[in-house]
Amino acid sequence: MTAFAENVMAGWNAALRSGSSAAENWTRWPWLQINVLEQFSREFKFRLSWLRQSPPDIPNPGRAFTAVVRRLKDLLREGARSGEIGIGSPATRLTALCVLDLTWIPENIVRTAGKRTALLLARDTLLRGVATGRE
């Protein structure tokens, strides 16, 4: 499962460091998550159940997750500085976690509505909430 988690984290990092605009990166982020959920459903479910184990077998199982949240904060700041993303207060960890939560699409939506519809839902929910002057 470590290899699976590392590959997902590498995908997240690549999506967030693509050199594109903040709004474009927000489209890449949920697309990656939707594809991981669809293609690696069993691994994803296994990973979640493993993280629920009490106590976890390894110290700080969310270490890589913390790095992603930090990168999301940076992306929010970059978008706010460029005027592409409007947030009411400076980007905090809580803001980054809220954005992360908005991009997670439940598996049943991906399965019943399809990947494209799930992406549109994630993109519309996120960008209409944080991008300025966009519909």
Contact 40, 133 (CB under 8 A): no
The token pair that represents 105 in the structure block: 């699409």
| pLDDT classification of 135: cutoffs 50, 70, 90 | very low
Q: Is residue 135 part of a domain?
A: no
Q: Is residue 82 part of a domain?
A: yes
Per residue in 35-66, pLDDT (tens digit) is 888 888 888 777 767 666 655 555 555 566 77
**How far apart are the C-alpha atoms of 91 and 1, rounded to whole Å?**
31
Per residue in 91-126, pLDDT (tens digit) is 678 888 887 777 777 888 888 999 899 888 887 777
Residue 116: closest CA among 40, 53, 35, 41: 35
**How far apart are the C-alpha atoms of 119 and 10, rounded to whole Å?**
20
| pLDDT classification of 83: cutoffs 50, 70, 90 | confident
- Provide the CA 119 distance to its chain's centre, in angstroms: 12
Q: Is residue 101 part of a domain?
A: yes
Q: Is residue 123 part of a domain?
A: yes
CATH of residue 19's domain is 1.10.357
Domain extent at residue 73: 2-130
- The pTM for the full model equals 0.66
